[in-house]
Amino acid sequence: MSIRLRLTLLYSTILVFTLVVFSVTTYITVSRILLDFQQNALAEEATQILAQGVFTLTVIETPRGRIAVPETYVQVRTLDGEVAGKSPNLGSFTLPLSDEGLQRLRSGEAKAWTEAVSTGDGRLLVYSKPFQFPGQSAGILQVARSLAEQDRALGALKWALTVGAGLATIAAFGIGWGLAGLSLRPINRITQTAQEIGARRDFSRRVQYSGPSDEIGSLATTFNTMLTELQAAYRQVEQSLQAQQRFVADASHELRTPLTTIRGNVALLRRDPPISEEDRVAVLQDVAEEIERMIRLVNGLLLLARTDAGLPLRTEPVPVRPLVDEVCRQALVLADGRALSWDDQTSTAVLADRDALKQVLLILLDNAIKYTPEGGQITVTSAPHDGQVAISVHDTGVGIDPAALPHIFERFYRGDSSRSGQNTGLGLAIAKSLIEAQKGTITVQSELGRGSVFTVVLPRASLPPGSE
Ligand code: ADP
């Protein structure tokens, strides 16, 4: 059963219950009041009759004849219950008195006795009261009036209440059904939108809601917020899936090149008649270099895959001077004709993973050496930077073309200057991943033909005194 029908049935049932209670209470109250009124009138009449000793009827002349108002019937019984006399309007009819009434009146237990009795013409209200005229034997005076008028009025009231309650229930059901539909329409729209999104995977859809910000309004808002987040997450997943696919395609391509070279060289080595000794040495040298390049590539890919998966880095205060010192001394071996100097005055520390930072600095120094011709100058400096610490590697090398600058941190990107040789195009991508995993940044400034500056910025850390 739908919520709409359930809600409508619920408040229709409540309304029916309320109307029934109201109608029954009204009916009982009105019939009681009318009966009390008649009873009081009869008691009054009986008192008058007993006071005057006579029974008078108010008679009105009407065009149709004389009518007594109200039509009151009078009868006198002996204390034994025998009818002693009655008013002419009773004809052959005798006003009844129940045994219980007679008993109570006779014993004096009740001062008066009223009972409603049914006759062929409708109900009669009979009021009986004992009397004692001086010098006469005691008797029971009975005064009665027809309740037909009152019963007719009550019948009309019952009809009005029943029909009114029925009509009110039908109207309330109809209005309730409409209102429930109106209130639940946004929920239907949410359901419809959710179904459409599920079918078409269109997360740009939103629920159109312009009503008040009640429970349903906040449901619509929450649903739309959830859709916005879902859309962003879906886009992110899509992008990262595309990036992964690109990465796998690029990696396969990069691995195929050295493998193809190695296969060609192996074919040369197996040639019959064999190649000259001089060529053989050159071919073997080539194979060894390609294998070396493949190892570097695979190591780089592995590292990138691990940083992508959230490489667990252990950040701690790392003193800058000893680290720069160590890295530069290591790089000196490769410098080969380039001057390498570093600033060994700084005494700051950064919050970083020591091994990861060392690897980044080695990548930057390796590049600086690779892209700086002999006789060039390479300098490593460190300085405070906006409350953090900046470590820069300057070179006076070939510099980077402004068009290439936005791409140099991309995976497998290699500038013209490094198309050939052992370069993998992964160095700066790895450096960027490692630095970002340490909540740092890496930037570059370069001028073609004049040199480049790569700057790593990391959070500053305070060192316990004497710990360097
Ligand atoms: P690789 O050096 O293996 O090509 P990298 O990711 O380290 O890969 O560098 C990407 C590209 O950025 C290089 O191919 C090169 O064109 C450019 N590059 C990096 N460092 C420098 C530098 N210090 N001077 C000039 N160009 C550089």
Which candidate, 174, 168, 179, 176, places its Cα nearest to that of 16?
A: 168
> Encoding tokens for residue 121?
């013409």
Instruction: Report pLDDT digits (tens) over 387-444.
Output: 999 999 999 999 999 999 999 999 889 887 655 566 888 999 999 999 999 999 999 9
Determine which residue's CA is closest to atom 7 belonging to ligand 1: 427
DSSP category for residue 458? E
Question: Most confidently modeled of 49-53, 108-112, 397-401?
Answer: 397-401
Q: How far apart are CA 392 and CA 454, in angstroms?
A: 6
pTM (2 d.p.): 0.58
Q: What is the pLDDT of residue 51?
A: 78
Q: How far apart are CA 179 and CA 6, in angstroms?
A: 13
Does residue 425 line the site of ligand 1, with CB under 6 A?
yes
Q: Which residues are registered as beta bridge partners of 124? A: 117, 146
- With contact defined as beta carbons under 8 Å apart, do 176 and 168 qualify? no
Q: What is the pLDDT of residue 62?
A: 63
Does residue 417 line the site of ligand 1, with CB under 6 A?
yes
Does residue 414 line the site of ligand 1, with CB under 6 A?
yes
Res 55 pLDDT > 70:
no
Res 5 pLDDT > 70:
yes
Does residue 297 line the site of ligand 1, with CB under 6 A?
no
Mention every residue, 6+ apart, whose C-beta is less than 8 A from residue 60. 66, 67, 68, 69
Which candidate, 381, 325, 321, 318, places its Cα nearest to that of 350?
A: 318
Does residue 412 line the site of ligand 1, with CB under 6 A?
no
Q: What is the pLDDT of residue 259?
A: 92
pLDDT-derived band at 182 (thresholds 50, 70, 90) equals: confident
Q: What is the pLDDT of residue 282?
A: 93
At residue 95, the 3 state secondary structure works out as coil
Phi, psi of 466 (to 5 degrees): 75, 15
Ligand 1 pocket test target in 395, 408, 422, 434 with most atoms within 8 Å of CB: 408
Neighbours of 271 (CB within 10 A): 11
388-395 and 451-461 beta bridge pairing? antiparallel
CA distances 445 to 260, 285, 364, 404, 452, Å, are 37, 37, 13, 12, 6
At residue 461, the 3 state secondary structure works out as strand
- With contact defined as beta carbons under 8 Å apart, do 432 and 442 qualify? yes
Distance 397 CA to ligand 1 centre (A): 11
Which candidate, 323, 316, 455, 324, places its Cα nearest to that of 390?
A: 455
Determine which residue's CA is closest to atom 21 belonging to ligand 1: 367
Question: Most confidently modeled of 191-200, 292-301, 413-422?
Answer: 292-301
- With contact defined as beta carbons under 8 Å apart, do 363 and 296 qualify? no
Give me the percent of the chain exceeding a pLDDT of 70: 93
Amino acid at residue number 52: Q
Does residue 400 line the site of ligand 1, with CB under 6 A?
yes
Q: For all residues of the chain together, what is the average pLDDT?
A: 87
Does residue 413 line the site of ligand 1, with CB under 6 A?
yes
Distance 379 CA to ligand 1 centre (A): 17
- With contact defined as beta carbons under 8 Å apart, do 380 and 328 qualify? yes
- With contact defined as beta carbons under 8 Å apart, do 365 and 393 qualify? yes
Determine which residue's CA is closest to atom 19 belonging to ligand 1: 367
Res 222 pLDDT > 80:
yes
Determine which residue's CA is closest to atom 1 belonging to ligand 1: 425
Does residue 367 line the site of ligand 1, with CB under 6 A?
yes
Question: Judging by beta carbons within 10 Å of its beta carbon (0-12, 13-18, 19+), is residue 213 exposed, middle or buried?
Answer: exposed
- With contact defined as beta carbons under 8 Å apart, do 317 and 465 qualify? no
Ligand 1 pocket test target in 292, 367, 370 with most atoms within 8 Å of CB: 367
Phi, psi of 288 (to 5 degrees): -60, -40
